[in-house]
Structure 1
Amino acid sequence: MTYVVTEACIKCKYMDCVEVCPVDCFYEGENMLVIHPDECIDCGVCEPECPPEAIVPDNDAEGEKWLELNREYSETWPNIARKGEAPADADQYRDESGKYEKYFSAEPGEGS
């Protein structure tokens, strides 16, 4: 099992999860984070730290849908090891559904 980031992260990117990850397995896109499934040690400390509850186990029904996206983009986006600033308008998008279709960007983030 591994943990994955779902669409709830899109346009929120609070990054509280990055701060607690002991193995630095988060990767940053322009408007969301992903977890590298082969680097995640399944400790689960990131899951309760995520304000929009965007992190789930990959064996969860929601998680299965996001595993390949997390794998694909963790191979190309920069690694992030420190918490950065969340977008100024993150709270406006926190509870919105259908964010992948509306806002997903394949562009990499800045990394750290």
Structure 2
Amino acid sequence: MTYVVTDNCIKCKYMDCIEVCPVDCFYEGENMLVIHPDECIDCGVCEPECPADAIKPDTESGLDKWLQVNTEYAEKWPNITAKKEPPADAKSFDGEAGKFEKYFSAEPGEGD
């Protein structure tokens, strides 16, 4: 099992999860974070920290796409170990449907 970041992180990117991760397995894209599934130790401390409820265990049904997205982009994007400020308009995107199709960016974030 691993945890995965899902579509509600897109354009929200709160980063509360980064502060609690004991193994620094988060990677930063331009407008979302992902978890490296091979680095995640399945401790689950990140899940309740996400204000957008975007982190889920991969054992939940329907998350195959997100496991693939997290795996692919954790290899491409820079590691991030310190919390930064979320986008100023994050709350306006929280809970919006279809965020992956509308807003996902494959561009990397800044990382640490």
> Which of the five TM-score ranges fits, normalised by the shorter chain?
over 0.9
Match of 1:78 in 2: 78
Q: Quote how far apart the aligned CAs of 1:9 are.
A: 0.2
TM-score (norm 2): 0.98
Distance 1:75 1:84 in 2: 21
1:101 is aligned to: 101
Deviations along 1:3-47, one digit per CA (max 9) or x if unpaired, are 000001000000000010000000000000000000000000000
Q: In structure 2, the residue corresponding to 1:4 is in which secondary structure?
A: strand
Counterpart in the other structure of 1:19: 19
Instruction: Give the residue type in structure 1 aligned to 2:82.
Output: R
Q: Describe the SS at the equivalent of 2:63.
A: helix
Count residues with an aligned counterpart. 112
One-letter amino acid of the counterpart of residue 55, structure 1: I
Give the counterpart letter for 2:38 in structure 1: D
State the Cα distance separating 1:2 from its structure 2 match. Answer: 0.1
* 2:110 partner amino acid: E
What percent of counterpart residues are identical?
74
Q: Compute the displacement of 1:71 (Å).
A: 0.3
More displaced, 55-64 or 14-23? Answer: 55-64
| 2:6 counterpart of 1:10 | no
Per the TM alignment, residue 59 of structure 1 is displaced from its structure 2 partner at its CA by 1.3
- Give the gaps of 5 or more residues in structure 2: none
TM-score by length of 1: 0.98
For structure 1, which runs of at least 5 residues remain unmatched after alignment? Answer: none
Q: How does 1:24-63 map to 2 (within 5 A)?
A: 24-63=24-63
SS in structure 2 opposite 1:31? coil
User: Separation in 2 of the partners of 1:29 and 1:103?
Assistant: 12
Aligned-pair distance for 1:65? 2.3
